[in-house]
Amino acid sequence: MASYGSLVWVGQALGPRVGAITEELIRVTEELISVRDLAFDLAELRAASIAENVSLVQYVLASNIDPATVVPPAAAAAYAQRLARRGVPLTVLLRAYGLGQYRLLDAAIGVVLAVPGRDQAVRVAELLEFAGTYLDRLNSSMGRIYEAERDRWLSSRQAARQQWIARLLDGDEDVDVATAETALGYRLEQRHLAAEVWAAPSTPGPDAVRALEQAREVLSVRLGAGGAELASATGARDLRLWLPVGGTVDIDELAAALGAAELPVRVAFGPPGDGVAGFRRSARGAGRAKALAVSAGADAPPVVDFDTVAPFALLTEDADELAGVVERLLGPLARDTTKMALLRHTLDVFLAESNSYSRTARVLGVHRNTVQYRIQQVTGRYGLAVDTDTFDIRFALGVCRWYPRVLTRTF
């Protein structure tokens, strides 16, 4: 236990001055650290915190109590908890305590210097050591109180937000929209674009969190949301967003912006929708698009738009049923081999390019004769017709792309 018995008389001399020191400290703190932007009721609580802290320091010094064992007074703890719930940075709290410590130390040194003696320098050094120990103990204790309350409060708020979101997505007819908007901090009576954002499993946890937040910022800026979006974590590496949108949404532009940011994330967009129904519909579309992208694996594009892939996103997830359709339409071309994958990709591009060998060659980056050879294999060896209605074939090729598990069957 540290002993500061030689300073007891200093603490006792400060006793009659506690009131004046407290009033001055409250005034100076209000001037330097304004609460106007926080809430009026914090001023009274802060004043009580300052008063209790000043009295505590004087008592500890006058009673020769080890400052390393001091417990923060109740008003100080309550003030820290209130700041945590208001989202006020911890630095505001610690700055106030540093200011108070300086004022008290200045008063205590004044007491020492007012009494002539050879030991003045020793006493001042002891005061500095006492003040350092006390402030370190106070800052550590108050920091723990603040962080514990902040974590509890954020967890409580997040749980409440998740409940409101769940009720909205479940189609609860009794939801009070105005109350839900207040709880979520998000306007429901507007046009929404939902997005699912997720990081690869190989991305380290802290990097994944940063990437998700950066993707959120990119989308917010591009859509002009200005931070008015609603975000909900759906997992350690997954984030669901609702972004307010005005007119037409250019998904290609959003994809380009995300690509330029080079973030280790993938994104699935739902269809834009209005009001509560649109809030729900867009989220469900984004969820289906995400499920499709996950099903497709590494070959899926980093950004998937529900409106583009809806025919496949709405398919049954019965693998046997899908595999049967693919087998009937593509035959051996549906086998899970490197060669068949190459032929499927060539055929897909060929049909998308209106059966043009030269354009297909440019897209694939191969010679025109190579394209002709592959298509001849498709039509001649495997018997697929590409000069008539090819809707069924293109549909089957899409299934192979988005549901590669259908290729694992043996034909």
Predicted confidence at residue 317, as pLDDT, reads 61
HSE-CB at 353 with a 13 A cutoff on CA atoms is 17
Predicted confidence at residue 34, as pLDDT, reads 62
Q: Which residue's structure tokens are 């108050």?
A: 142
- Lookup: tokens for 306: 């529900």
Query: By the 8 A CB rule, do 145 and 72 touch?
Result: yes
**Which segments in the chain show pLDDT lower than 70?**
1-2, 33-41, 154, 316-319, 408-411
Q: Which H or E run includes 230? A: strand 230-235
How many C-beta atoms lie closer than 10 Å to residue 262's C-beta? Answer: 8
Q: Which CA distances in Å does 303 have to 258, 389, 401?
A: 8, 30, 15
Task: Tell me the backbone φ, ψ of residue 267, rounded to 5 degrees.
Answer: -135, 140
Predicted confidence at residue 375, as pLDDT, reads 92
- Lookup: tokens for 120: 């003045």
Over its C-alpha atoms, the chain yields an Rg (Å, rounded) of 34
Task: Tell me the backbone φ, ψ of residue 7, rounded to 5 degrees.
Answer: -105, 0
Find, among 254, 260, 266, the residue nearest to 200 by Cα: 266
Percentage of residues of the chain with pLDDT beyond 70: 95
